[in-house]
Amino acid sequence: QVQLQESGPGLVRPSETLSLTCSVSGGSISGHYWSWIRQPPGKGLEWIGYVYHSGTTYYNPSLKSRVTILLDTSKNQFSLKLNSLTAADTAVYFCARIPLFLEWYFDYWGQGKLVTVSS
Amino acid sequence: SYELTQPPSVSVSPGQTARITCSGDELPKQYAYWYQQKPGQAPVVVIYKDNERPSGIPERFSGSTSGTTVTLTISGVQAEDEADYYCQSAPTSGTSLMFGGGTRLAVL
């Protein structure tokens, strides 16, 4: 059973950079796509981007200029960096797996990490 | 810009059938997926590739398509089905993934 777990700071100051890590257990990180999704309090889901084990990435155009997603196959982890933070970036951040090419959905999710942007 | 549109809320009585729609101009060319999210939890996929049901998802959940609208149907709704439901889609290239705004299902 694949399990994902987000980790990182829960409070970040405005204008700084959010850094989160997702640790994958119960399966290899190779052969799948790995994604970040966020959900502001009381609002809907927003796809942030994904990385493939080859290192290929795709990002939501609305966030592309501020986002970097990287893969660390040696640790079976992937990470999210989001810079130039504002209060609008306050959200629960989920990591998730996309199972296969052409099956662009999320079959396994982490429990989510609340990140608050505040001074 | 491309959007997936869902009704904000749907209400049904226990045992009735709930239908939640999702509309988008690209849906005839793309698969749709549906997620159930309960408070404080991560979403769970209940329908993938328009009408496929993952193992462990009750048979009362089904998906269908008609033109630019996809529908999640929950037959014989139970109290435990009260949740937020999100549709999601993506082009075959996978270059952009998108969620609908979500629908809150109330079981009265």
**Residue B33 to residue A105, Cβ atoms within 8 A:** yes
Residue B81 predicted with pLDDT over 90: yes
A60 Cα to chain B: minimum distance (Å): 6
The pLDDT confidence band at residue B1, using thresholds 50, 70 and 90, is: low
Model confidence over B20-39: pLDDT tens digits?
999 999 999 999 999 999 99
* Cα Rg, chain B, nearest whole Å: 13
The pLDDT confidence band at residue A4, using thresholds 50, 70 and 90, is: very high
Which token pair is B39? Answer: 């408070």
Nearest-angstrom CA–CA distance, A39 and A90: 8
The pLDDT confidence band at residue A100, using thresholds 50, 70 and 90, is: confident
Would you call B31 an interface residue with chain A, using a CB distance cutoff of 8 Å? yes
Please identify among residues 48-77 of chain B the ones whose CB lies closer than 8 Å to any CB of chain A. Answer: 48-49, 54
Sign, CA dihedral A41-A42-A47-A53, equals positive
A47, A110, A112: residue with CB nearest B97 = A47
> Helix, strand, or coil here: B81?
helix
- Span A42-52, mean pLDDT? 96
Q: 């869902």: which residue's tokens? A: B6
B56 Cα to chain A: minimum distance (Å): 13
Residue B73 predicted with pLDDT over 70: yes
Spatial contact of B9 and B94, defined as CB atoms under 8 Å apart:
no
Residue A58 predicted with pLDDT over 80: yes
**For residue A81, what pLDDT is reported?**
98
Residue A30 predicted with pLDDT over 80: yes
**Residue A58 to residue B95, Cβ atoms within 8 A:** yes
Spatial contact of A60 and B98, defined as CB atoms under 8 Å apart:
no
Residue B67 predicted with pLDDT over 90: yes
Mutate to test the interface with A, among B97, B98, B99, B104 (most CBs of A within 10 A): B97
Residue A71's beta-bridge partner residues?
A78
- CA proximity to B74, closest of B32, B46, B33: B46
Residue A34's beta-bridge partner residues?
A51, A97
Model confidence over A61-97: pLDDT tens digits?
999 999 999 999 999 999 999 999 999 999 999 999 9
Nearest-angstrom CA–CA distance, A25 and A76: 7
Nearest-angstrom CA–CA distance, A96 and A107: 7
**Residue B96 to residue A46, Cβ atoms within 8 A:** no
Amino acid at A95: C
Nearest-angstrom CA–CA distance, A19 and A16: 10
Set of chain A residues whose Cβ sits within 8 Å of the Cβ of B37: 45
